[in-house]
Structure 1
């Protein structure tokens, strides 16, 4: 649960909030009905009201909406903004929206929860001229290297055989396929980033349109320890927010996909990077898989291999998009 101090920290950063303010003022028209999904302290809802929206629905599952309501009253927008504490899509009002504001994308841009959420929410966007903000995203990846990242990715590196008198090596494949959300320093990026692709966020992109691949070249000699994956959200033609390495005052970093063992490269070595999202039964993106090729060698990873589960666990988990019902055992 995020408290008010968390939102004050976001406001203190300034640049990201200012870019959203500019985009909202360009997007919202007088008389619009606006949905601010995941409103938090209500900052974007206030911007929309100030831009002339006739009605703003501000929805969040957390109790911070009570502080946001006070903030709206204090700024003269108490009659324009309607606050809803609840989770979407169940708590959505019975409205069609001219503008939907949503920025709470996971570090990988889409996971199954957010994909399904947006599929339901976008059904409420006015078909003739409705606008989603941000409206598009670019997925980007780059190889990374460095001892600091290596220690974060593999905390037991060098001690897997013998730590506490036990042999931990059989657990390494799980760690080697577990993505890590962490800050990445510019000095840890070992090649020019690869543009994996650009997707419009409305209509919702197909899982196959996410991810991609491309070529780059090592900028220095290094042992590549992972691939950093991030996105740039397009607010307008000249306005972006990003979770790229060293994004200044942005609060989130990229997702690092491990490479194990490290892939040694010399400066100038040609590299190919590939990242893909495995589709679930309902089309939502599921596991990530990745591959890096350089100098006749390659490293692969697959998020499924990070989970110590038997097939029976997947059948018993159930839920939307999960494995089909487990077949019954044959009669003896």
Structure 2
């Protein structure tokens, strides 16, 4: 409707079929070409003048958002082209939020039966949570933690300290993080506390323990986000100084979302660089299926061979066919 000669739409999910149907229903099938895949595996026939994307989760630092944008900018964007959004600015503030803290942590402190549930509590305080935050929760003025300029960003990792001198007394329960976006000059939106509710949210990073502060105390949080594989690991190291005096520490915590998942010692050993792995039965099944994908054998025949090779693993031919289609859907053409 706004004059685009051609639109290339990229989406890995089956929801792309809905977009195809809507394009056809509105007479745009000849101008919109669809690619069902992740963008980093797509090659376009030409570069684009505008790239519109939204791969965020609760925050812009989510999954492979930044690597995907960086790749698209390099390969898909024509010289002088525009990215929408252009940038995201992430803001941080410490909050007094007993309601949020109690919702996630209190069940492990006071379970009513006198049980020691500290193992679960450690998971809760090393996990960031989404939740409703109002301006009244803030103990300080927000500070900019990071700016993601999509026209130049290269690294998916972000880290920086933020520090405040308290101007009033209160109890610090954690740190919150949100973002403002710039879509184009003079156009954007925010999911800050008090702003209209959006599909995004505000991230709440709880402290290991609430800390009582008074005017003059200094709160410093070193917040880091590092992409490992396809997931971010968040670390937030907090130090509260009595009256800002570096010699008098009221509280100090080191927390990380690495600890939000219970991981056995055996599994950690399997991740070591010197570990020598071998395939389990599930790996052997997948390897067998992949070796039979030869551009000439039908799925039903592959399933029959899988059932013959692993009769104790599959209930029947249909069960084996389900596994074959799952593998070919991921790796086949």
Query: Structure 2-normalised TM-score?
Result: 0.70
| Matched residues, number | 269
What's the RMSD between the two structures over aligned residues?
2.9
In structure 2, the partner of 1:124 is: 75
In structure 1, the partner of 2:211 is: 263
Structure 1 residue 166: Cα displacement: 3.5
**Which of residues 63, 72, 75 in structure 1 aligns to 2:23?**
72
Residue 291 of structure 1 pairs with residue 237 of structure 2: yes
How has the CA–CA distance of structure 1 residues 269 and 60 changed in structure 2, closer, same or farther, with 3 Å as cutoff?
Answer: same
Structure 1 residue 268: Cα displacement: 5.5
Name the SS of the counterpart of 1:288 in structure 2: strand
Q: Check the 8 A contact 1:207/1:285 in 2, yes or no.
A: no
In structure 2, the partner of 1:98 is: 49
Name the SS of the counterpart of 2:48 in structure 1: coil
CA distance in 2, matches of 1:54, 1:314: 52
CA distance in 1, matches of 2:25, 2:109: 57
Superposed CA offset, 1:120-177 (max 9, x none): 43332235223221122212111122221112231415325x54x6321233222211
Query: Counterparts in 2 of 1:244-259, with a 5 A limit?
Result: 244-259=192-207
Structure 1 residue 207: Cα displacement: 4.2
Residue 190 of structure 1 pairs with residue 129 of structure 2: no
CA distance in 1, matches of 2:238, 2:71: 35
In structure 1, the partner of 2:191 is: 243
CA distance in 2, matches of 1:307, 1:254: 21
In the alignment, structure 2 segments of 5+ residues that lack a partner are 243-248, 278-333
Q: Check the 8 A contact 1:192/1:219 in 2, yes or no.
A: no
Structure 1 residue 77: Cα displacement: 3.2
In structure 2, the partner of 1:56 is: 7
How has the CA–CA distance of structure 1 residues 260 and 59 changed in structure 2, closer, same or farther, with 3 Å as cutoff?
Answer: same
Q: Which has the larger radius of gyration?
A: 2
Q: Check the 8 A contact 1:137/1:233 in 2, yes or no.
A: yes
In structure 1, the partner of 2:110 is: 159
In structure 2, the partner of 1:305 is: 259
**Which of residues 121, 125, 128 in structure 2 aligns to 1:176?**
125
How has the CA–CA distance of structure 1 residues 114 and 207 changed in structure 2, closer, same or farther, with 3 Å as cutoff?
Answer: closer
CA distance in 2, matches of 1:158, 1:307: 19
How has the CA–CA distance of structure 1 residues 126 and 147 changed in structure 2, closer, same or farther, with 3 Å as cutoff?
Answer: closer
Name the SS of the counterpart of 1:211 in structure 2: strand
How has the CA–CA distance of structure 1 residues 311 and 157 changed in structure 2, closer, same or farther, with 3 Å as cutoff?
Answer: closer
In structure 2, the partner of 1:31 is: none
Name the SS of the counterpart of 1:187 in structure 2: helix
Residue 108 of structure 1 pairs with residue 54 of structure 2: no
**Which of residues 135, 142, 146 in structure 1 aligns to 2:97?**
146
Residue 87 of structure 1 pairs with residue 41 of structure 2: no
CA distance in 1, matches of 2:43, 2:195: 33
Name the SS of the counterpart of 2:152 in structure 1: coil
Query: Structure 1-normalised TM-score?
Result: 0.70
In structure 2, the partner of 1:36 is: none
CA distance in 2, matches of 1:206, 1:97: 23
How has the CA–CA distance of structure 1 residues 65 and 170 changed in structure 2, closer, same or farther, with 3 Å as cutoff?
Answer: closer
In the alignment, structure 1 segments of 5+ residues that lack a partner are 1-49, 318-322
Moved over 6 A (4+): none
